[in-house]
A and B are shown apart, each in its own frame.
Chain A
Amino acid sequence: MGKSMIKKITGHQMFIPIMALLLLAVVNLIVDPGFFKVTLGTNNSGDPVLSGSLITILDYGSELAILAIGMTLVTAASGGQDISVGATIAIAGSAMLRVLCGTNTRPETIQAPIIVAFLVACVVGMLCGAFNGALVSIFKIQPMIATLILFTAGRSIAAWINNNELPIVPDPKFKYFGGFIPGIPIPTTVFIVIACIIVIVLVLKFTNLGLYTQAVGINESSSKLNGINPTFIKFLTFVILGLCVAVAALIKVSRISTINYSVIAKDIEMDAILAVALGGNALSGGKFNMWSSILGAYVIQFLTTTLYKFNVQSDALSAYKAVVVILLVIFSAPAVRTYFSGLFAKISASGKGRKEAAK
């Protein structure tokens, strides 16, 4: 086994999220061998559904994975993060409900096709993104400060859209997006995530979005002299994140067919930022690895699910999560990684020396 091989593996950006995933898997396997059991059962309405912890992780990690896509781009181009995504999910979700239910909070039937409601949510999400993006790219406000505005005001705006009422969507079909389509045992969210990943992979392959965002994030003035418009690229990444927000809002609202303005997608922005960081992407912008961020999102969900398994109270959850996050972040810090790779080299060298001495 070559030393360079070890270095190549440990040095890869995906190493930390994959190791974290494996570690979580091993811990769960030891504590409860049944953790990975997936069973096919039926739900209340008699349709076949898969259940088990793995399915839960895949299902509930969806919103985070979708947001991680947009957050990665925003981080890469602007060197900052959008902390308003939780609040804008509330806004987009609320707009969706408004279209679906009209002014009546308990309608007999939906007032507009679901697709129309979703498109409206997309427009609203992208408008929120455009607002953030304009503040960041045109007015050069630090991303975290610029998005603090919607972070603070977003949930009030969401409540105002529906006059602070909580409309309930009567159509069972609306539940499909955050649940199951009758006859298909795999959660619909998994398909939504796959669709989003396919879209972003195609976009990164068939446009220069990746190259431009990285170039702008690394050296704005140089990109400008190469004919790139950094202002527009930054703006664009925020709008794309807005679109991701709308998709996440669809799933969130669909899960409960209604909305809770103060709780929906609470703190999800921090998890999304964490996913980007866990994926080994620099929060100061520049180069990024999309797969790594998406994997990071599932690592976080895996952690949350594991903690629930260990019967951690939901209000104590964040504290436990923080401890694990600290460990992960420390291990992925460059200083620590160099130290460990040096240690590895020493160990393998001394091992070799001993072997040779034995000869």
Chain B
Amino acid sequence: MDNNRILEMRGINKSFPGVKALQNVDFTLNKGEIHALMGENGAGKSTLIKVLTGVYSKDSGTINLGDKNNVSIRSPQSAQNLGISTVYQEITLCPNLTVAENIYIGRGSSQITNWKKMNTDADKLLQKLDIPARATQQLASCSIAVQQMVAIARAVDMDCKVLILDEPTSSLDEQEVEKLFGLMRDLKALGVGIIFVTHFLDQVYEVCDKITVLRDGQFVGEYEIKDLPRVKLVATMLGKEMDDLSDIKGEQGTYSGENKDERVFEAKELQSDAGIKPFDFYIKKGEVNGFTGLLGSGRSECVRAIFGADRVLKGKVKMHGKEVKISKPLDAMKNGIAYLPEDRKVDGIIGDLSVRDNIIMALQVLKGFFRPFSKKQAEAFADEYIKKLNIKTASSDTPIKSLSGGNQQKVILARWLLMHPEYLILDEPTRGIDVGTKVDIQKLVLELASEGMSVTFISSETDEMLRTCSRLVVMRDRKVVGELTGDDLTQSKIMSTIAGGE
């Protein structure tokens, strides 16, 4: 066997009742290599990772680790002992403990902790990896990126040979991502093999050496990064030629009803208790606009204020020119405003409830406490939207939490579309979901707008916004700093407006 090889997975099979999650999948990782694992939602990435980390046991296949052939990984603990560490999308550390405690927790065999030694060791490690944190600092006081890095430091210190990063960048802003990449390159130089799972194509091309693509639980191929340009990667992932990723705006007509200049929603001096400066905003019928700005610039807070999700402190709000009062989500819903929140897990899904209940939720609340839908009616609504949005679920009775991220997002989207809103707010609808679904959602937005719905679309990926929005409100430091339309809608113009100081 190649000396350089640290991980070899051959012919891995794994089935769940009714689904073949992995069929004969191969995966190879070399020392000092950053290897992207790509595929749409449900392609089997997570399952493969879970087999590797001992969360699931494989049905058949072999795993070779370094010079150990056919190792069996029975639990996350045994994976860790074999030198396989994972850092997940969500921070799985304890925010109320210090950085040092988080690095060493649950590891030493001794019952007595030498706090002093632990702290100096931690500081050394942090310095070595160039992580801007102190050992005695409480983890919660670090930024998300640093927390992510601490998780990696913990893994590194456990003498890991294989480091798995599962969507580590989805809640980081650009600078933080850059820092994380720096750390990844350092680890690479130390000879650690890194498996990198992400939905951001840019990032793959920035740090990775190789790409393995999975599709429908099957191994499609392993490629050197230079052999697989971006368009081809997407095509490989989707299994079809994709040329409409670059331009979908042209396909859809824009709304051209006679009332197209009517302002569906208008806010003056709106302010909520989430710490944004008062702002003015309007949207016309059939328009798609968006809020852009760096993470934390107040994009989400603005739309939350519009929907009444945070406590509104002051401001005037008009719907169709008539003044209305929106102080809680139900008021907004009654006025035909729908809001798909940024954090799907925390604010969107109701995990244990069925897909059906999740779909009818908003309309049901709007209809009233004493007027529940009949089971048949609910069933009909659910089936209609499962079909319309092509939601992949075993049945409408399946709990939503067992769906993949992209399909969960579609369910939440279905929930709001069922309400037939006049004004739809989508806050990061494409975060953490696969390319195919991303394009679907963008197309849907344009289609809805062409039928006369007003849509506010927020995304961290500027090119997505450029593709969908006809007007962008730019934010900096919780303040609206500019508005771009027409020819000004370019990447560089947005950047310079965000940066300011012209």
Interface size on A, residues (CB 8 A): 22
Q: How far, in whole Å, are A287 and B351 apart by their CA atoms in the complex? A: 10
Query: Which chain A residue has the least Cβ–Cβ distance from B351?
Result: A218
Q: How far, in whole Å, are A215 and B361 apart by their CA atoms in the complex? A: 9
Q: How far, in whole Å, are A24 and B197 apart by their CA atoms in the complex? A: 53
Q: Is the CB of B369 within 8 A of A225?
A: no
Q: Is the CB of B369 within 8 A of A207?
A: yes
Contact digits for A219-242, partner B, Cβ 8 Å, 1 yes 0 no = 101111111110000000000000
Query: Which chain B residue has the least Cβ–Cβ distance from A204?
Result: B372
Measured between beta carbons, the chain B residues less than 8 angstroms from A214 are 350, 352-353
Q: Is the CB of A211 within 8 A of B372?
A: yes
Q: Report A107 CB to chain B, min CB distance, Å.
A: 43
Q: How far, in whole Å, are A286 and B352 apart by their CA atoms in the complex? A: 7
Q: Is the CB of A225 within 8 A of B352?
A: no
Q: Is the CB of B329 within 8 A of A227?
A: yes
Q: Report A219 CB to chain B, min CB distance, Å.
A: 5
B83 at the interface (CB under 8 A from A): no
Interface-forming stretch among B89-97, B225-233, B294-302, B341-349? B341-349
Q: Which of A211, A223, A224, A227 has the most CB of B within 10 A?
A: A227
Q: Is the CB of A222 within 8 A of B350?
A: yes
Measured between beta carbons, the chain A residues less than 8 angstroms from B330 are 227, 229
Measured between beta carbons, the chain A residues less than 8 angstroms from B365 are 208, 226-228
Q: Is the CB of A206 within 8 A of B347?
A: no
Q: Is the CB of A218 within 8 A of B353?
A: yes
A298 at the interface (CB under 8 A from B): no
Q: Is the CB of B352 within 8 A of A218?
A: yes
Q: How far, in whole Å, are A218 and B347 apart by their CA atoms in the complex? A: 11
Q: Is the CB of A211 within 8 A of B364?
A: yes
- Mark out the residues of chain B between 322 and 366 whose CB falls within 8 Å of any chain A CB in the assembled complex: 328-330, 333, 339, 341, 346-353, 357, 361-362, 364-366
Q: Is the CB of A225 within 8 A of B350?
A: no
Interface size on B, residues (CB 8 A): 26
Measured between beta carbons, the chain A residues less than 8 angstroms from B362 are 226-227
Q: Is the CB of B329 within 8 A of A211?
A: no
B309 at the interface (CB under 8 A from A): yes
A-B contact count (CB 8 A): 69
B370 at the interface (CB under 8 A from A): yes
Q: Report A8 CB to chain B, min CB distance, Å.
A: 12
Q: How far, in whole Å, are A215 and B372 apart by their CA atoms in the complex? A: 14
Q: How far, in whole Å, are A209 and B415 apart by their CA atoms in the complex? A: 19
Q: Is the CB of B339 within 8 A of A225?
A: yes
Q: Is the CB of B353 within 8 A of A206?
A: no
Q: How far, in whole Å, are A84 and B136 apart by their CA atoms in the complex? A: 43
* Known A-B contacts A206-B370, A207-B370, A207-B372; A215 and B347 likewise in contact (beta carbons under 8 Å): no
A212 at the interface (CB under 8 A from B): yes
Q: Report B312 CB to chain A, min CB distance, Å.
A: 14
Query: Which chain B residue has the least Cβ–Cβ distance from A232?
Result: B369
Q: How far, in whole Å, are A321 and B309 apart by their CA atoms in the complex? A: 48
Query: Which chain A residue has the least Cβ–Cβ distance from B415?
Result: A226
Q: Is the CB of B369 within 8 A of A223?
A: no
Measured between beta carbons, the chain B residues less than 8 angstroms from A207 are 369-370, 372
Q: How far, in whole Å, are A223 and B357 apart by their CA atoms in the complex? A: 12
Measured between beta carbons, the chain B residues less than 8 angstroms from A224 are 309, 329
Q: How far, in whole Å, are A208 and B372 apart by their CA atoms in the complex? A: 6
Q: Which of B307, B333, B369 has the most CB of A within 10 A?
A: B369
* Known A-B contacts A215-B353, A215-B361, A227-B330; A222 and B369 likewise in contact (beta carbons under 8 Å): no
Q: How far, in whole Å, are A223 and B415 apart by their CA atoms in the complex? A: 12
Q: Is the CB of B364 within 8 A of A222?
A: no
Q: How far, in whole Å, are A215 and B309 apart by their CA atoms in the complex? A: 17
Contact digits for B414-431, partner A, Cβ 8 Å, 1 yes 0 no = 010000000000000000
Interface of A is mostly: helix
Which of the residues A218, A219, A221, A227 comes within 8 Å of B366, measured between beta carbons? A227
Measured between beta carbons, the chain B residues less than 8 angstroms from A227 are 328-330, 333, 362, 365-366
* Known A-B contacts A206-B370, A215-B361; A225 and B349 likewise in contact (beta carbons under 8 Å): no
Q: How far, in whole Å, are A218 and B330 apart by their CA atoms in the complex? A: 19
Measured between beta carbons, the chain A residues less than 8 angstroms from B349 are 219, 222
Measured between beta carbons, the chain B residues less than 8 angstroms from A229 are 328, 330
Q: Report A200 CB to chain B, min CB distance, Å.
A: 15
Q: Is the CB of A222 within 8 A of B347?
A: yes
Which of the residues B339, B347, B369 comes within 8 Å of A212, measured between beta carbons? B369
Which of the residues A208, A218, A225 comes within 8 Å of B364, measured between beta carbons? A208
- Mark out the residues of chain A between 195 and 209 whose CB falls within 8 Å of any chain B CB in the assembled complex: 205-209
Measured between beta carbons, the chain B residues less than 8 angstroms from A205 are 372
Q: How far, in whole Å, are A222 and B348 apart by their CA atoms in the complex? A: 5
Q: How far, in whole Å, are A286 and B357 apart by their CA atoms in the complex? A: 13
Measured between beta carbons, the chain A residues less than 8 angstroms from B370 are 206-208
Query: Which chain A residue has the least Cβ–Cβ distance from B340?
Result: A225
- Mark out the residues of chain B between 354 and 409 whose CB falls within 8 Å of any chain A CB in the assembled complex: 357, 361-362, 364-366, 369-370, 372
Q: Is the CB of B352 within 8 A of A287?
A: yes
Q: How far, in whole Å, are A208 and B364 apart by their CA atoms in the complex? A: 8
Q: Report B297 CB to chain A, min CB distance, Å.
A: 21
* Known A-B contacts A215-B350, A215-B353, A286-B352; A225 and B372 likewise in contact (beta carbons under 8 Å): no
Q: How far, in whole Å, are A215 and B339 apart by their CA atoms in the complex? A: 18
Q: How far, in whole Å, are A206 and B371 apart by their CA atoms in the complex? A: 7
Measured between beta carbons, the chain A residues less than 8 angstroms from B328 are 227, 229
Which of the residues B353, B369, B372 comes within 8 Å of A287, measured between beta carbons? B353
Q: Is the CB of A208 within 8 A of B353?
A: no
Q: How far, in whole Å, are A228 and B361 apart by their CA atoms in the complex? A: 9
Query: Which chain B residue has the least Cβ–Cβ distance from A7?
Result: B17
Q: Report A185 CB to chain B, min CB distance, Å.
A: 39
Q: Report B351 CB to chain A, min CB distance, Å.
A: 6
Measured between beta carbons, the chain A residues less than 8 angstroms from B341 are 222, 225
Q: Which of A215, A222, A224, A228 has the most CB of B within 10 A?
A: A222
Which of the residues B329, B346, B351 comes within 8 Å of A226, measured between beta carbons? B329
Measured between beta carbons, the chain B residues less than 8 angstroms from A228 are 365
Q: How far, in whole Å, are A346 and B350 apart by their CA atoms in the complex? A: 35
* Known A-B contacts A206-B372, A208-B369, A214-B353; A221 and B333 likewise in contact (beta carbons under 8 Å): no
Measured between beta carbons, the chain A residues less than 8 angstroms from B361 are 211, 215, 226
Query: Which chain B residue has the least Cβ–Cβ distance from A223?
Result: B350
Q: Report B130 CB to chain A, min CB distance, Å.
A: 36
Q: How far, in whole Å, are A212 and B370 apart by their CA atoms in the complex? A: 11
Q: How far, in whole Å, are A209 and B364 apart by their CA atoms in the complex? A: 12
Q: Which of B347, B349, B350, B357 has the most CB of A within 10 A?
A: B350
Measured between beta carbons, the chain A residues less than 8 angstroms from B366 are 227
Q: Is the CB of A221 within 8 A of B353?
A: no
Query: Which chain B residue has the least Cβ–Cβ distance from A214?
Result: B353
Q: How far, in whole Å, are A211 and B365 apart by their CA atoms in the complex? A: 10
Q: Is the CB of A219 within 8 A of B351?
A: yes
Q: How far, in whole Å, are A226 and B328 apart by their CA atoms in the complex? A: 10
Which of the residues A208, A212, A225 comes within 8 Å of B329, measured between beta carbons? A225
A sample of 9 inter-chain contacts (CB < 8 A) reads A208-B369, A211-B353, A211-B372, A221-B347, A223-B350, A224-B309, A225-B347, A227-B329, A287-B352
A-B pairs with the 9 shortest C-beta distances?
A: A227-B330, A227-B365, A219-B350, A218-B350, A226-B361, A287-B352, A218-B352, A227-B329, A208-B372
Q: Which residues of A contact B (CB under 8 A)?
A: 205-209, 211-212, 214-215, 218-219, 221-229, 286-287
Given contacts A221-B346, A222-B347, 12 further A-B contacts (CB under 8 A): A207-B370, A208-B369, A211-B353, A214-B350, A215-B350, A218-B353, A219-B350, A222-B350, A225-B348, A226-B361, A226-B365, A227-B362
